[in-house]
Chains A and B, each alone.
Chain A
Amino acid sequence: MSKRIEQEPIIRVEDVVAGYGDVTIFENVSFEVLRGEVFVILGGSGCGKSTLLKNMIGLYRPFSGHVEIDGEDIVSAEGAARLRILRKIGVMYQQGALFGSMTLLENIELPMEEFTDLPREAMHRIASSKLKLVQLEGTEHRFPAEISGGMRKRAAMARAMALDPEILFLDEPSAGLDPITSAELDDTISRLARTLGITFVIVTHELASIYKIADRVIMLDKEKKGIVATGTPVELRDHCEIAWVRRFFRRETASGEVAA
């Protein structure tokens, strides 16, 4: 079954300039993410991928520009309007950001506790099913400090899905995972996109998963302070006018060797 990507954008990023303090990390970044799409943000370490993500989810305010989620401007939204937007998204942070004083189950139940009237038993059941989705059954009552880094990431993804958001933002979901778990995570992502129509915005470096899951990719560059290429992975590999982008997608180093 092939999935449905609608032509209507669910996220619209327009002329966003962002950074920290007086330092601009990128300028005039504009793109659209379509509903149901798996959208990948690529770029070298330190080029501002996490920063872009945090500006898209309204955590930081861009210096200028707009970010619209499902037709609503998240930059200027306050109070109830902001909450309405936030309810549509789930975020997995690069470091996991699980609450250290709570077990995994409690971590996942927290958003449900705060925003729904579900009985405790239902919350348990839902939270366990989310953990199962990321292959973490049996760890319900462990604390974040008691599991490995890769497991923490997956638990964070489970938490991001607690309220069944329409959009999931994942910052390097497969970093630190072994190839098999990483491939299983890719399957999970593809499956969620296909069956539930969830839109994904993912920062990743894993070329294998990019080819497998990405519908579209943007490439950020630190020097150019912005997007240097947009397209499907195959398009960029074969037709991108920038040599290093083509090389990246062919897994080649500058001296022409193919990296392992």
Chain B
Amino acid sequence: MTTATSSRRGAVLRTTTSERGDRVLELEGRLDASSTARLWRDAMAAARAAGDRPLIVEAGAVDYCDGAGAALLAAIEEAAEQGGGRFELRGLREDLRELVALVAPSRQEVAPPPPPPSFIVRLGRSGIQTGRDLHRLVSFTGEAVIALASVIRHPRRLRMRDTVAIAERAGLGAMPIVVGVGFLLGLILAFQGAIPMKRFAAEIFVADLLGLSMLRELGPLMAAILLTARSGSAFAAEIGTMKVNEEIDALTTMGLEPVRFLVVPRVLAAMAVVPALATATSLSGLLGGLLVYRSLGFPTVTFINRIVDMVEPFDVIGGLLKAMVFGILVAGVGCLRGIETGHGAQAVGLSTTSAVVSGIVAIAVADGLFAAMFYVLGI
């Protein structure tokens, strides 16, 4: 019985059985990566099918063999050994034989990977890890506060140029998107608000709804979330890359504390920029709402009057205050994730992702705390 597999360029495999009952694999031509790939399945099937009968590979007609071919020969030999039969490689040219010996996987047993740790061990480890994370968070916050305080006492120690550049990138750069998102938000909110209010012929109050929710809540929230996406992630990536490139180490051995040098400018820039972004979001939201309001048949003056009536100064101030706190959180979390970055480019990606996720979580939590606080204070 003879079956033949030939690969388009060069290599041919012929499987025969000799009259003595030996399984014979005849190989011919070029055994390179592409031809070996085509032969592999058939060759291995034939080798396994030999069972405990002797397996002979006739390689006299092989005129080229590289790492892939050598791996095939080694795999056939291994299959034969597992079957329990004798293996023989015949006729392979001397120089190729040397190559095969060099490339062939070592006969040594590869040590099995260590067994996965048990549930208890993993639980313990993750507990320790959480503890460490918490410790790092606390010490990072402490360091950042100390650095901020020292910069406030000695303003000359602030990297002014860096701070301005970061504020420009985080602030001016975000303006178009903040304005666009705010406008759409106002538009949607006004439409959605108008539907139930229409049932009570109370569409006029859409202005109240809009003024209060945009200035007090949605403006700061939206601005902070957009800052997280644009700048929180950028901070983590920038600092993370510096970490991977040993630049943080270099700063440290120059005696420049990374926190003062990298974190303080970013936190200050974010703190300064978010209130402006929040204001822009709110105002463009109101503009979007106004558009809907007018289409409901009310004049612009009514819109403005209602908002001025409804919105107290503290609503605006409180909103800006919240925005500032969000800014500090987002920048702080972004920088912390950056500094925590492990090794390699993949680690930078992880830090960036987790900067965004933790940033948004931090904003949500802080917003909840603010809501509770304002409620208790009766504002």
Tell whether, in the assembled complex, residue A115 and residue B255 are in contact, meaning their CB atoms are under 8 Å apart: yes
- Give the interface of A toward B (CB within 8 A): 54, 57-59, 82-83, 86-87, 89, 91, 93-101, 110-111, 114-115
- Is B108 among interface residues, defined by CB-CB distance under 8 A? no
Tell whether, in the assembled complex, residue A97 and residue B249 are in contact, meaning their CB atoms are under 8 Å apart: yes
- What residues of B have a CB within 8 angstroms of the CB of A59 in the complex? 249, 252-253
Q: Which residue of A lies closest to B252 (CB)?
A: A59
Residues A93 and B250 in contact in the complex (CB < 8 Å), given A100-B241, A100-B242, A100-B245: yes
Tell whether, in the assembled complex, residue A97 and residue B254 are in contact, meaning their CB atoms are under 8 Å apart: no
Q: List, sorted by A's number, 30 A–B pairs whose CB atoms are closer than 8 Å.
A: A54-B249, A57-B253, A58-B253, A82-B255, A86-B253, A86-B254, A86-B255, A91-B253, A93-B249, A93-B250, A95-B246, A96-B245, A97-B245, A97-B246, A97-B247, A97-B249, A98-B247, A98-B250, A99-B242, A99-B250, A100-B241, A100-B242, A100-B245, A100-B247, A101-B238, A110-B254, A111-B255, A111-B256, A114-B255, A114-B256
Tell whether, in the assembled complex, residue B245 and residue A95 are in contact, meaning their CB atoms are under 8 Å apart: yes
- What residues of A have a CB within 8 angstroms of the CB of B238 in the complex? 101
How far is it, in angstroms, between the C-alpha of A114 and the C-alpha of B260 when the chains are bound?
Answer: 12
Tell whether, in the assembled complex, residue A83 and residue B255 are in contact, meaning their CB atoms are under 8 Å apart: yes
- What residues of A have a CB within 8 angstroms of the CB of B245 in the complex? 95-97, 100
Number of A-B contacts (CB under 8 A): 47
16 additional A-B residue pairs with CB within 8 Å, beyond A86-B255, A111-B256: A58-B253, A59-B249, A91-B250, A93-B249, A96-B245, A97-B247, A97-B250, A98-B250, A99-B250, A100-B241, A100-B242, A100-B247, A101-B238, A110-B256, A114-B256, A115-B255
- What residues of B have a CB within 8 angstroms of the CB of A57 in the complex? 253
- What residues of B have a CB within 8 angstroms of the CB of A91 in the complex? 250, 253
How far is it, in angstroms, between the C-alpha of A111 and the C-alpha of B256 when the chains are bound?
Answer: 8
How far is it, in angstroms, between the C-alpha of A111 and the C-alpha of B255 when the chains are bound?
Answer: 9
CB distance from A154 to the nearest CB of B (A): 15
Please, what's the 1-or-0 string for B55-76, where 1 marks a CB less than 8 Å from any CB in chain A? 0000000000000000000000
Interface residues in B219-267 (C-beta closer than 8 Å to A): 238, 241-242, 245-247, 249-250, 252-256
- What residues of B have a CB within 8 angstroms of the CB of A89 in the complex? 253
- What residues of A have a CB within 8 angstroms of the CB of B247 in the complex? 97-100
